[in-house]
Structures are given as structure tokens and as C-alpha cells.
A = this chain, B = another copy of it.
Amino acid sequence: MASAVSPLAVALPVLAPLAGVRLGAAAAGIRYQGRTDLVLAELAAGTTVAGVFTRSKCPGAPVDWCRAALKGGHARALVVNAGNANVFTGRAGTEATKATAAAAADLVGCKPREVMLASTGVIGEVLPYDRLTAALPALHASLAEDGWEAAARGIMTTDTFPKAAVRTARIGDTDVTLQGFCKGSGMIAPDMATMLCFVFTDAKLPAPCLQVMLRKGVDASFNRTTVDSDTSTSDTVLLFATGQAKHKRVPAEGGRMLRGFRAALDALLLDLAVQVVGDGEGAQKRVRIDVRGAVSTGSAKRVAFSIANSPLVKTTIAGEDANWGRIVAAVGKAGEPADRDRLSIAIGGVWVARDGAVVAGYDEVPVVAHMKGHEVTIEVDLALGRGRATVWTCDLTHGYIDINASYRS
């Protein structure tokens, strides 16, 4: 899209080859001209897979496909297209997933249900899957160990920068790598696995154990972010373990042996999730909201999201205006236990209100200076209990309106 690159963009990390993964991108001409929009990854035999998907009641056909295919626990290929989400397309949508998976399976030499699919873009238009299947053979022939950047770029829609992250961990005495990329900018909302994210590791891990770790990691990362409160129909996070690393056998239940791996996975998912918020449509600032003193973790999370999704809080941040009264209103509307006269609020580490009123001698100058930066922090202490939660969001600017009042046309 024509939007300027987000001021919160981060450079791609070095994306080295990862044993058992070859990938690449091609231009299938589904919607965009002059750019890649189709990504294929081929995975070594024996690769296990886990997935977390949108909780939307109107999921896309590729989400239906993956949910069914995941039951096998194995994957040999991943096909992703950008520009058309293949959502709300009825029987034609199911046909498109079947045909795409069959074409990729033919090329890779596996069963169709070992092919994972994801689509992102406009909802409600039939996916011209013949363009995908026509482009797949040449793309397959071009797959390479160093196709990571091409893949990260090929899945972008309104993203202004490609997003990837790398971590390492030890399993027993062996180093393993986790490497992933994702896309997401609008239709980003809590309580689901946000948008498209693909993580690969060379570790050898049973699928049930992968699944438990992925669900936990997503709950603490993507599920703590919001750009516009709009949950997508296509949200997909897939974790592939190629099993090429030569570490000790990991039991199905995982256990202590995976402590370091879990920490690395959690950190990688959070890294990617925070990058997505930093590329929120029109975002100029990223906002971290820490709520503590709530009656429970769930309550803290709901209060934090009530602030994070408030258009009035988000516009006041865009305007670099320390109008903290809007934070009070957002706490009040959350429907969670809160006592106005115990509530305290800090912006950029400066307490502006304590125990239900503005602090004596409150000086707005350092707060306004903090708000002029690209990273804004808000702390809320409800002083009722020990529940705490952190969520991330971005400001609401003219850029969001520009992008979304004209995205499709």
C-alpha cells in the first residue's frame, strides 16, 4: 500500500537457513500488481505442526482446512496467499482450499492434509485459485534455504514493513533455533491468534507438546494486543518443528527439558506480536498498558483492553495530549471491579492521579514530553487485589481512516 513506513518499524533480523525448511515467494497476480503475493514453504519429512486460530464464528475456508488437517499432527508444506482471504465464499472457498492443497501435495510428494493453508486480504470475493495452482510449479522449483525475507514480504497486505524474529534455545546439550515471520496491521483484536504468523524450529517435538506450548505462548503475546478491536476471520499461527536437530528425545508431555525452548518461543511470539502493533494501520505510536491491583488476572486484562480499545484514549495519544481523564472513563466502562477513589494512573512513569484525584502539584510537562515519543506507557493501579496484565496497542490517527475508508477500492 501507499502508506509511509511506520516509525515503529524494525529492521529484519538475519534470517539464516533453518534445517528442514526451504521457501520462497512468487507473484500470482491475485490482487496486487508488481509484487509477490504467494508463499510456499516445503518442510522435511517428519515435521510436526501445531496451530492456533481465530475464534471468529465466520472463519475463512483455509482456517477450516487447517483445523481438520492439523489432526494428523504432521506437515510437509505451507501455502499462503495475500490479497484475498477466501472467507465467506461458500462452496467455492472449500473447493479452492482442496485444489490448492492437492496441487502443493503433488509437487512436494505428500498427502493433501500435510499441506497447511492460509489466506489474507479481502473478504467475500471468490479466490481465483487457478492463479495459485498455475504459479506453484515454478515457485516450487525455485524454493531455497534462504527464501525467508521473500516469504516475510510475500504475505504482507497493509503492513508497512516485513516482520520476523529469531531465538535460540538449548534442548539437553543441543542448540535449536526458532525462526518466524508474520503479517498484520488492521483487523487486529484480542482473544484469538492474531492474523498470520508462521514459526519454524529445527527441534524434534511431538505435535501435542507443540500445541500446548503454542497455545500458551499465543495467549501471552498475540492475545494481549489490539489495533482496532476487530477480530479477523483468518487469524492463524502455525508452529512447525522439522526435527532436524540432533537432541535427546523429548517426551510427548514436554516437561522440564523444554523450559528454555518454551521461554524462547514465548519471547519470539511476543517480539512478533509487538511488531504487529507497531505496524497497526496508521500507527505513529505504540502504547503499553500495565494494569495492576485488579481482583484477578482476567479482570486486569479486561480493564487493560478497555483502555487499549478506547477510541478516545487512542486519539488523545495521537494528539500527544495528556488527557488522562479518558483513561478514567475507559477504566469505568470496563465493567470490572474498580473503586474510583482508589484508582491511580501514571503516564510515562509519572503518576498523574493517585487515589481518585489528580496529584498535588501535578506537572504536565514531563508527561507531554513522553507522549511526543513513539513509545507511550500507561500504568493503572486499581489498588484492590493482586491481578495484573499488560497489553499493547497503538494510537488512532488519520492514517487509519485513510487506509480503511479506501482499502478495497
Question: Does A81 make an interface contact (CB < 8 A)?
Answer: no
Interface residues of A in 183-233 (CB under 8 A from B): 186-187, 189, 228-233
Question: Does A247 make an interface contact (CB < 8 A)?
Answer: no
Choose one: B318, B324, B343; the contact of A58 (CB below 8 Å): B343
A contact face: mostly helix, strand, loop, or mixed: loop
Q: Size class of A's contact patch?
A: 35 or more
- 0/1 per residue, A249-273, Cβ < 8 Å to B? 0000000000000000000000000
Instruction: Please list 14 pairs of residues, one from A and one from B, whose beta carbons are closer than 8 Å in the complex, sorted by A's number.
Output: A56-B333, A57-B332, A57-B333, A57-B337, A58-B331, A58-B340, A89-B357, A90-B356, A124-B324, A124-B353, A124-B358, A228-B311, A316-B405, A319-B405
Residues in B whose Cβ lies below 8 Å from that of A179: none
Question: Does A130 make an interface contact (CB < 8 A)?
Answer: no
Q: Contact at A59–B332, with CB atoms within 8 Å?
A: yes
- 0/1 per residue, A330-369, Cβ < 8 Å to B? 1111111111110100000000010111100000000000
Stoichiometry, copies per complex: 2
Give CA–CA (A316, B400) in the complex, Å.
11
Choose one: B124, B337, B340, B400; the contact of A325 (CB below 8 Å): B124
Give CA–CA (A341, B230) in the complex, Å.
21
Select from chain B the residue with minimum beta-carbon distance to A227. B311
Choose one: B91, B321, B332; the contact of A231 (CB below 8 Å): B332
Q: Contact at B326–A123, with CB atoms within 8 Å?
A: yes
Residues in B whose Cβ lies below 8 Å from that of A58: 328-329, 331-332, 338, 340, 343
Q: Contact at A333–B230, with CB atoms within 8 Å?
A: yes
Select from chain B the residue with minimum beta-carbon distance to A355. B90
Question: Does A170 make an interface contact (CB < 8 A)?
Answer: no
Give CA–CA (A355, B85) in the complex, Å.
18
